Homo-oligomer: A and B are copies of this chain.
Amino acid sequence: MSPRRTDPQTRTALVDIAAGLLAGEGPQALSARRVAAEAGSSTMTVYTNFGGMSGLVREMVLEGFARLEAYFSHVKATDDPVADMALLGRAYRRNAVTNPHLYAVMFGGARPAGFSLTDEDRQHGRYTLGTVVGCATRCIEAGRFRAGDAELAAHLLWTAVHGLVTLELGEYLIDPCNADVVFEAQLTGLMVGAGDDLAAAERSVRASLARLPGELGGVTPYPAGGDPSASGPA
């Protein structure tokens, strides 16, 4: 007995509208009333489809992880796994800088009051980290990283790059130690800390910089949903 099915387009349309609002006007524009008005419906649609604003935000967090995964998938595995790793770091940073508000929702405290991620949500973050773990394994197998726990090595890289990106978005990194300077040095330092030679690490980090426009240049800025009338951020 299923009397009236919800329009499957409604969910994705609402998420798209919310994402556009977040990207275009910032977190304060993310209100149930605003999203509903933009969709031409009432606030109840948010509750029937997502159970409230928290549910909508949660959906956007998953979208954010999907986007990060998309960036990671564009990094090719070469015979220089350390350069691959550095490029993963660049992908992580680029994703965050390209979608700062989404990133803030994912990891920052920019969440509605009373909203907290479930363990299942966090599992998406850990799944995404799997790519980094795989790359760390190749670094160890190639003799570039010290033998040991690849998962731990991935966590070291993740936490460090995450911290840099967070402070960059908070505008804490200013000249002369701006985000670019610190990021390049951090990439090299992390590789050395993981066991690589200083000279080899510097070479690989430089190589990853050269690969950046080629492998990460064509990642879709934002996935076009289904609603054409929704005026997105050009």
Q: Chain A residues in contact with chain B, CB under 8 A?
A: 26-28, 104, 107-111, 113-114, 117, 122, 125-126, 149, 151-152, 155-156, 158-167, 170-174, 176-177, 181-182, 185-186, 188-194
| Chain B residues, CB < 8 A from A28 | 113-114
CA distance A126 to B170 in the complex (A): 13
Q: For the complex formed, measure the closest distance between the CB of A223 and the CB atoms of chain B, giving whole angstroms.
A: 23
Q: For the complex formed, measure the closest distance between the CB of A179 and the CB atoms of chain B, giving whole angstroms.
A: 9
- B189 to A194, Cβ gap below 8 A? yes
| Chain B residues, CB < 8 A from A173 | 155, 159
CB nearest neighbor in B for A169 = B109
Could you list 15 examples of A-B contacts with CB < 8 Å?
A: A27-B109, A108-B110, A109-B110, A109-B111, A122-B171, A152-B181, A155-B173, A158-B163, A159-B164, A160-B186, A160-B190, A163-B165, A188-B193, A189-B193, A192-B192
Q: For the complex formed, measure the closest distance between the CB of A74 and the CB atoms of chain B, giving whole angstroms.
A: 23
- A167 to B162, Cβ gap below 8 A? yes
CA distance A99 to B172 in the complex (A): 20
10 more A-B contacts (CB under 8 A) besides A125-B172, A159-B160, A163-B163? A27-B109, A107-B167, A117-B171, A126-B172, A151-B177, A155-B182, A156-B189, A161-B163, A162-B167, A192-B193
- A27 to B113, Cβ gap below 8 A? yes
| Chain B residues, CB < 8 A from A167 | 107, 158-159, 162
CA distance A159 to B180 in the complex (A): 13
Q: Which 9 A-B pairs have the closest CB atoms?
A: A163-B163, A109-B110, A189-B193, A193-B193, A28-B113, A108-B109, A160-B160, A162-B163, A159-B164
CB nearest neighbor in B for A165 = B163
CB nearest neighbor in B for A183 = B159
| Chain B residues, CB < 8 A from A158 | 163, 167
